[in-house]
Amino acid sequence: MHPAKSVIFFTTASGAGYGMMVWLAVLAALGLVPADMAFGLFAFGIGFTLIVGGLLSSTFHLGHPERAWRAFSQWRSSWLSREGVSSVVAFLPLGLFALSWVVMGENGGNAALLGLVGAAMSLLTVFTTSMIYAQLKTIPAWHNGWTVAGYLVLGPMNGAVIVLLLAQAFGYAEAASLLRMAALGLLVAALLVKLAYWARIHGGRVTSTAGSATGLGHLGKVTMSASPHDTDNYLLREMGFRVARKHAAKLRPIAIVAGFLLPFALIALTHSIVGGNAAVLALALAWLLCQVGLYVERWLFFAEAKHAVTLYYGEQAV
């Protein structure tokens, strides 16, 4: 599939924003962070910017972005529509939670309950995003449980890294300690999920072939004698994107090292660093590396996925 920059940004940014909301709700419910206005402004400002920016960027890949609102009416059958509905519904408890924290100076009691409801809606929205891809039987690389698992672990992982950086910068040691353990655990879990995902899509399992797609497989090996089109078209641009195997093999280690291993090492190092500034710098570097690694990971997620329609354009199996 064509790895559109707008969709890559949408899936990474919105996942990180919703992940932040989950951890802010957890911190409030456990009473680990006071309702500090400055911290709330930074945390909710970054979180909502990532969510809104990601959701808006997703419309750039549409042929008619001005018609995006119509997708909300198809929630009974479309995961894309369900994602839109859940994202809008999530803004109500999350907005009230942020308002209580920043304006009213309250993040416990009912405010914390609103945060937990918003956290649940955030995870539901991330799940609906994952199902947009996982439900597509025509793309075997996505049509499996590892796709859903990846989205559900990467978003909270990214959010934990960001909120950890903020907690450390504002001097909330107890909250930072919890988030450090959560971030380390999620980095390990996310890496294992991605390794399992890559093992599955490169494990030699073939779902469809040119023979099964055309129904001529019983006659022998089916090959294309001529191209269906003389010129480039939408199918080839969007669904016939090819990434060289050697390039993908080089990019996966970059995603692993930058997205998971180095952030893990830097976050673990902050446990023993004496001095707030040094810890903050280490966490800032961990966050930056994590974003680079996740961008590469998400680029590969799209670039390595083969649509079954490519079987009619010379691909032998998907």
- The overall average pLDDT reported for the chain is 86
Kindly report, residue by residue over 132-155, the tens digit of the pLDDT.
999 988 888 899 999 999 999 999
Whether residue 139 is contained in a domain is answered as yes
- For residue 249, the enclosing domain spans 5-313
Could you tell me if residue 61 is inside a domain? Answer: yes
Residue 230: predicted pLDDT: 58
- pLDDT over 80 (residue 223): no
Residue 28 lies in a domain: yes
Q: Is position 198 within any domain?
A: yes
**Which value, in Å, is the radius of gyration of the alpha carbons in the chain?**
22
Its pTM stands at 0.88
**Greater pLDDT, 235 or 260:** 260
Q: Supply the pLDDT for residue 32.
A: 96
More confident residue, 190 or 73: 190
pLDDT value at 219 more than 70? no
CATH number at residue 126: 1.20.1630.10
Please indicate, yes or no, if residue 318 is contained in any of the structural domains. Answer: no
**pLDDT at residue 310 greater than cutoff 70:** no
Quote the number of domains for the chain. 1
Mean pLDDT of 287-297: 96
